[in-house]
Amino acid sequence: MKTGIHPDYHPVVFKDSSTGDSFLTRSTITSDKTIEWSDGNTYPLVMVDISSWSHPFWTGTQRIMDSAGQVEKFHRRYGKRGTR
């Protein structure tokens, strides 16, 4: 790799703002906030709105769209149209 052209890749803590869960990973993102991690080191802290702990798909609270019901609702509202 060429030196001086790649961004700094360092450990960062991401924290879910809705659940309070956090995880340590590596990233090029920077932050002014810091947090002391369980290993005793201080890392940059990045707050995220949604993570796997709060995303509806991963928590099982995702709504399933009733596509057949949506089609029936459309036909009731606009009526069925004949073919040309």
- Element containing residue 74 per DSSP (H, E): helix 67-78
pLDDT at position 40 over 90:
yes
Q: Which residues share a beta bridge with 43? A: 35
Burial of 43 (0-12, 13-18, 19+ CB in 10 A): buried
Cβ atoms of 50 and 44 within 8 Å: the answer is: no
Digit-coded pLDDT (tens) for 5-20: 988 899 999 998 888 8
Cβ atoms of 43 and 35 within 8 Å: the answer is: yes
- pTM of the predicted structure, to 2 decimals: 0.62
